[in-house]
């Protein structure tokens, strides 16, 4: 009983020292920093993926060529390339004539460039290392019912290589996705011209609308991001999570070393009325361990709960909480052992 009473008295002494004499540093290290790091690690998975909104949008009107060109021009893309691949004097040239006229009428600032070979595109659309050019797009005609092979209309709309990443940045909540600006308006314009070649009075695509959608729903996307993040944790990031419980090592080690440097540890051992010398040392060591662990336990529990909610959503919260507490207690024990190597705090 005497040992327990002495231990409790020393715990009270430790609490008064760290909570009353140094409240700011204690609250910062024992609560704010661990909780903040737990929240940061839970949110960190969103830092490695671009913002996007997956799902299915509501049907909307396709942008006109004028609106699309205005968006492209504001981004520095003011050239449209028409590639006939050597097919002249036929339906392909007629389509390009009408498309060039429609482009000029939609926005006179857009430069229409006709070339004969697809291999000449890089000469007019010089690309940066990121795959960005000054071209709005390029329409490459490959065949028509009377030209080329296949006996049908076959054309390709080429855009910047940078747009290959647009799928991960796609948002169903707006209509400024690259495919909705640089491809669909041009595709509808070309299809309208082709449809009117034989029946100029008809316009079967006049009421065409677009429906944006993604291969994953937003919950499925969030789950996929979480899986990638968990894989990163398994591979290399797992060690960073110790930062939510690591702060006790610096705090406790410095506290014990300071007491030893100031002679308080020797004074306590000398003045404690115990039958055996080891009892005073045991009471002092146990009081250090328990007093600091009790102060830090709330942060360990809170950070574990945050990590469970943000990262390990399918894990029993009790597992994470118990693991964090046991790891924290182990670090406290290690800190006491490590503190025995120092006679001074600095």
- The whole-number pLDDT of residue 266 equals 60
* Look-up of token digits 């001074």: 344
- Express each pLDDT in 267-323 by its tens digit: 665 566 666 666 677 777 888 899 999 999 999 999 999 999 988 888 899 999 999
- The whole-number pLDDT of residue 184 equals 95
In angstroms, the CA 38 to CA 305 distance is 9
In our burial notation (b when 16+ CB lie closer than 10 A, e otherwise), range 57-89 reads beeeebbebebbbbbbeeeebbbbbbbbbebee
Reported confidence tier of residue 1, pLDDT bands at 50, 70, 90: low
Higher pLDDT, 342 or 147: 147
- The whole-number pLDDT of residue 343 equals 65
- Given a cut of 60, is residue 345 above it in pLDDT? no
- Express each pLDDT in 106-140 by its tens digit: 999 999 999 999 999 999 999 998 899 999 999 99
In angstroms, the CA 79 to CA 65 distance is 13
* Structural contact between residues 57 and 213, judged by C-beta atoms closer than 8 angstroms: yes
- The whole-number pLDDT of residue 145 equals 93
- Express each pLDDT in 2-44 by its tens digit: 667 777 887 888 898 888 888 899 999 999 999 999 999 888 8
β-bridge pairing 154-158 and 111-115: unpaired
- The whole-number pLDDT of residue 78 equals 94
Q: Which parts of 163-238 fold into alpha helices (H)?
A: 178, 184-195, 218-232
- Express each pLDDT in 176-197 by its tens digit: 899 999 999 999 999 999 999 8
pLDDT, mean of residues 192-216 = 88
Task: Say what angle helices 317-339 and 247-262 make with each other, to 10 degrees.
Answer: 30
Reported confidence tier of residue 240, pLDDT bands at 50, 70, 90: confident
- The whole-number pLDDT of residue 51 equals 86
- The whole-number pLDDT of residue 344 equals 63
DSSP string, 239-256: GGGGGGTTHHHHHHHHHH
* Look-up of token digits 């009075």: 201
- The whole-number pLDDT of residue 182 equals 94
Count of residues making up the chain: 346
Spatial CA neighbour of 35 closest among 302, 307, 310: 302
Reported confidence tier of residue 257, pLDDT bands at 50, 70, 90: confident
- The whole-number pLDDT of residue 276 equals 63
pLDDT, mean of residues 206-223 = 90
- Given a cut of 90, is residue 68 above it in pLDDT? yes
How high is the mean pLDDT of the chain? 88
Q: Where are the beta strands (DSSP E) in the chain?
A: 60-61, 79-83, 111-115, 135-143, 154-158, 209-210
pLDDT, mean of residues 328-342 = 87
User: How open is the CA angle 294-295-298, to the nearest 5 degrees?
Assistant: 85
- Express each pLDDT in 141-188 by its tens digit: 999 999 988 899 999 999 999 888 888 889 999 888 999 999 999 999
- The whole-number pLDDT of residue 18 equals 87
Spatial CA neighbour of 63 closest among 12, 107, 121, 125: 107
Cα 12 to Cα 44, 253, 284, 295, 300, distances in angstroms? 39, 18, 12, 12, 21
* Structural contact between residues 84 and 93, judged by C-beta atoms closer than 8 angstroms: yes
- The whole-number pLDDT of residue 169 equals 86
pLDDT, mean of residues 74-97 = 94
Q: What is the pTM of this model?
A: 0.70
- The whole-number pLDDT of residue 322 equals 95
- The whole-number pLDDT of residue 328 equals 94
- The whole-number pLDDT of residue 8 equals 83
């Amino acid at each position: 009983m005497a040992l327990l009473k002495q231990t409790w008295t020393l715990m009270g002494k430790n609490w008064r020292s760290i909570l009353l004499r140094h409240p700011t540093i204690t609250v910062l290290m024992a609560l704010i920093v661990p909780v903040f790091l737990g929240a940061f690690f839970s949110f960190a998975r969103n830092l490695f993926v671009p913002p996007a909104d997956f799902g299915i949008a509501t049907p909307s009107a396709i942008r006109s060529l004028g609106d699309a060109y205005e968006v492209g021009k504001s981004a520095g893309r003011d050239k449209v390339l028409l590639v006939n691949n050597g097919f002249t004097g036929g339906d392909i040239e007629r389509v390009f004539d009408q498309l060039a006229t429609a482009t000029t009428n939609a926005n006179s600032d857009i430069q229409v460039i006709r070339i004969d070979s697809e291999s000449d595109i890089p000469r007019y659309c010089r690309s940066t290392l990121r795959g960005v050019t000054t071209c709005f797009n390029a329409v490459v005609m490959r065949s028509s019912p009377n030209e080329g092979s296949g006996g049908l209309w076959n054309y390709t709309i080429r855009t910047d290589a940078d747009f290959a990443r647009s799928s991960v940045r796609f948002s169903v909540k707006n209509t400024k996705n690259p495919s909705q600006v640089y491809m669909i308006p041009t595709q509808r314009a070309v299809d309208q011209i082709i449809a009117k070649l034989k029946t100029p009075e008809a316009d079967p695509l006049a009421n065409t609308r677009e429906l944006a959608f993604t291969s994953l729903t937003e919950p499925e996307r969030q789950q996929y991001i979480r899986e990638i993040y968990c894989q990163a944790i398994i591979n290399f990031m797992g060690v960073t999570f110790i930062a939510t419980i690591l702060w006790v090592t610096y705090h406790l080690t410095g506290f014990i070393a300071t007491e030893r440097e100031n002679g308080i540890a020797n004074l306590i051992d000398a003045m404690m009325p115990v039958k055996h010398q080891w009892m005073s040392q045991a009471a002092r060591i146990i009081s250090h361990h328990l007093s600091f662990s009790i102060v830090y336990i709330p942060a360990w529990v809170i950070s574990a709960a945050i990590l469970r909610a943000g990262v390990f959503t399918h894990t029993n919260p009790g597992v994470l909480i118990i693991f964090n507490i046991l790891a924290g207690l182990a670090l406290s024990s290690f800190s006491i052992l490590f503190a025995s190597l120092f006679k001074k705090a600095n």
